[in-house]
Amino acid sequence: MYCYGLTAQIKVHPGLMFWLDSMRRCLLLLCVVIFSGLMASTGVAREMDFTRLSAGEVAFTGHRSEAPSVQLSWQPVSLPFSAAPEQTRGQFWFRLDLDGVPEQHRSALYIQHHVFDIELFLNGTRLGGTTRADGLESTGWNQPYFQRIAAPLWRDSGNQLLISVRAGEPNAMLSPLIFADEAALAEVHRAKTFQQVTIAEWSVIACLIMGGFTFFVWLQRRDDSLYLHFALLCLSWSVVMFYLASSFSPLPHGTWLRFSYYCVDLAGFFLFMFLYHLMQLNAPWPRRLAILAVIGSGVALFSMDIRHHALVITVVHGVHLALVLYLLAIGAVRALRSHVRGILWFMPGFLLIAVLVGHDINAFWSAAQVPGGLPEGTLMQYGFGVLLVLIFAYLIRTFVKALDESEHLNTQLEARVRDVSASLERSYAENRALELHATAQQERQNIYRDLHDDVGAKLVSIVHADVSQRQTELAREALMSLREAVSQSRYEYRQLLPLMTTMVAEMEVRLVGADMAFRCDGVDTLPDQDIDPAIGYQLSRILREVTSNIIKHVGHGLVKLDCVMEQGKLRLTVTDDGPGMPDQSEWRGAGLGNIRYRAAEIGAQVSWQGRLPNGTLFHLSLALPEG
């Protein structure tokens, strides 16, 4: 379930989030519906008019038969009846006189509890029973029995009801018989079946769904034992609910009962382990005590006589209950101190269990005080189911919250991956550009070296040869330009002040050599900052072309250069005393085009304008980054 990866491809489908939240809400709603039905079913029979029959005779035989033998020894009995622990093989026969049942109560009878298979005979005619054709044992403890009675089966007097009850382990049982109107008893049977069977069936399904889901989650993240403990808790309790919901024993009833009892102990143990790990306790003794209790319970239940199981169950249940209460107390204190409310999710479930236990005690007490009153039955086992639903809702909430956090982290990771990918692409593009530039620079340097070694050598020869002064000056200028080009190819930063000083000196040499006066202002005030040699190269080429144009088109007078550095901009102004600029339509010389091209290469702005009464003003403005 961990949603972290380098590719950030794990996504939580919105449908899964909706399904998880819907399942949690449905389970909570199911609890409300179930307990609304439980509360309604407990009051169905309170105002019903009925006849309760509890006095009769009983006889026991060591073998089973379809009719009681005449040699049976009948003994008076008062229902409810519970057989002796040693009477586990054979059959019980109950004989009851029905002449005292009023006419209006003779249409149906109802038996709240019976263990095990029963068969009913009225005046020698079989009414019905629970014996299964497949031979499996019918338990009937949690299965209320309802039987319609046809009117022709009744006699004017001497009505006798025979009930056959199969003996078994731990002991056979039979509750009092209720006679009443068929419609009223059918409603009682429906309500009790819903309360004792239907809810148990729903509980089995809910436990399997919750346990299966949490077990699947645990398989995905096995380091979180909370999900495993809850899955085993649900599985254990589903066996208990199946025992209450099923009308038969899949195993011999003694073994099936022992296993069901042990599943109750297992449920208590896994509930303790869930709470223990939820609160992240470090104390080893509670866990060791719980493990010893559940192991001892298993050994005792499957090795001791079933008559002693009540003691074993009481002791083990008491140990687990004490440990759970101990954990709840610790959890409540921690929740109040640290404001961590997780453990408080389960408090309503435990409170509900306590309320239902009180209800059951009151119901049995009230039934014992009213002659012929119907017992309300037990509800405490369903409080445990509500506790499971609350725990499951908490786990779903935690799981959904983890998915939300995982989705948020995935979104952040995807954004980070996109940023890193874009950065890598930019870096690759920059590296590629640098490689291409370095290659081009290397080729330029090779060409410049060839020019320097070949053409430069010839220019040096011209400079030192016996030629005219004008040719010597031109050769010297060409040699200086060549050296400057070779220097520019190294692509190293240069300082502004030495660069401008060199360019001013070159302009002065050229202009003075052409019989023109030259004056420069402001070059000494320029900052001593580094500039890109490419800028210096183009700047020197621009000034050289401006100087060449002045020499070519003016040829006399004063040339003035002003250098100013203002707000990060270098401003160069060159003025002369020539005839001025022609019309713009005639500005088509190659020199002016070169000047504009070189200025655009370095981001400079250039302009020309005429002066009054004569002359031309050239202006260059160039923003220089701070060195």
What pLDDT band is residue 562 in, cutting at 50, 70 and 90? very high
The per-residue pLDDT for range 378-396, each reduced to its tens digit, is: 667 777 777 788 888 888 8
Q: 47 versus 186: which is more confidently predicted?
A: 186
Measuring CA to CA, which residue among 141, 118, 146, 133 is closest to residue 50? 146
Instruction: Give the lowest-confidence range in 105-109, 119-123, 370-374.
Output: 370-374
CATH number at residue 607: 3.30.565.10
Domains contained in the chain, number: 3
Reported as half-sphere exposure (CB side, CA atoms, 13 A), residue 365 has a value of 6
d(CA 622, CA 604): 4
* 171 in the same domain as 232: no
pLDDT above 60 for 463: no
Q: 503 versus 589: which is more confidently predicted?
A: 503
Cβ-contact 271, 295 below 8 angstroms: no
Q: Has residue 483 been placed in a domain?
A: no
How far is residue 597 CA from its own chain's centroid? Answer: 62
* 206 in the same domain as 258: yes
- Structure confidence at residue 588 (pLDDT): 56
DSSP letters for 332-384:
HHHHHHH---GGGGGHHHHHHHHHHHHHHHHHHHHHHHSTTPPP----HHHHH
Omega before 116 within 30 of 0, i.e. cis: yes
What pLDDT band is residue 10 in, cutting at 50, 70 and 90? very low
Q: 323 versus 13: which is more confidently predicted?
A: 323
The per-residue pLDDT for range 588-618, each reduced to its tens digit, is: 556 788 889 889 988 999 999 888 778 899 9
Q: Is the dihedral of CA 451, 454, 460, 466 positive or negative?
A: negative
Residue span of the structural domain in which 553 resides: 494-623
- Structure confidence at residue 476 (pLDDT): 62
- Structure confidence at residue 466 (pLDDT): 56
Measuring CA to CA, which residue among 532, 538, 480 is closest to residue 509? 480
- Structure confidence at residue 7 (pLDDT): 31
Q: Has residue 158 been placed in a domain?
A: yes
Mean pLDDT over all residues of the chain? 78
Q: Which of 366, 389, 412 is the last residue of a domain?
A: 412
Q: Has residue 41 been placed in a domain?
A: no
E strand or H helix at 618, and its extent?
A: strand 616-623
pLDDT above 50 for 89: yes
Where does residue 288 rank: exposed (0-12), middle (13-18), buried (19+ CB within 10 A)? exposed
For residues 121-128, give the mean pLDDT: 91
- Structure confidence at residue 43 (pLDDT): 45
Q: Which of 351, 386, 412 is the last residue of a domain?
A: 412
Q: Which of 377, 412, 447 is the last residue of a domain?
A: 412
- Structure confidence at residue 358 (pLDDT): 66
What pLDDT band is residue 249 in, cutting at 50, 70 and 90? confident
Q: Has residue 431 been placed in a domain?
A: no
Exposure class string for 484-493: b at 16+ Cβ within 10 A, else e: bbbebbeeee
* 210 in the same domain as 343: yes
* 165 in the same domain as 213: no
Q: Has residue 432 been placed in a domain?
A: no
Nearest-10 Cα torsion for 26, 28, 31, 36:
-90
E strand or H helix at 520, and its extent?
A: strand 517-521
* 392 in the same domain as 279: yes
CATH number at residue 317: 1.20.1070
Measuring CA to CA, which residue among 396, 234, 399, 391 is closest to residue 328? 391
Instruction: Give the lowest-confidence range in 23-32, 172-181, 300-309.
Output: 23-32
The three-state DSSP-derived secondary structure of 231-251 is: HHHHHHHHHHHHHHHCCEECC
d(CA 608, CA 352): 97
For residues 345-364, give the mean pLDDT: 67
pLDDT over 70 percentage in the chain = 75
What pLDDT band is residue 282 in, cutting at 50, 70 and 90? confident
* 317 in the same domain as 369: yes
Where does residue 421 rank: exposed (0-12), middle (13-18), buried (19+ CB within 10 A)? exposed
* 217 in the same domain as 167: no
* 290 in the same domain as 211: yes
d(CA 229, CA 214): 9
CATH number at residue 172: 2.60.120.260
Tell me how many degrees the CA angle 398-401-403 measures, rounded to the nearest 5.
110
- Structure confidence at residue 396 (pLDDT): 81
Q: Has residue 595 been placed in a domain?
A: yes
- Structure confidence at residue 150 (pLDDT): 92
Q: Has residue 147 been placed in a domain?
A: yes
- Structure confidence at residue 335 (pLDDT): 67
* 550 in the same domain as 402: no
* 218 in the same domain as 176: no
Q: Has residue 460 been placed in a domain?
A: no
Instruction: Give the lowest-confidence range in 175-179, 314-318, 420-424.
Output: 314-318
d(CA 356, CA 350): 10
- Structure confidence at residue 41 (pLDDT): 47
Q: 307 versus 50: which is more confidently predicted?
A: 50
* 159 in the same domain as 202: no
- Structure confidence at residue 15 (pLDDT): 46
This prediction has a pTM of 0.59
* 262 in the same domain as 116: no
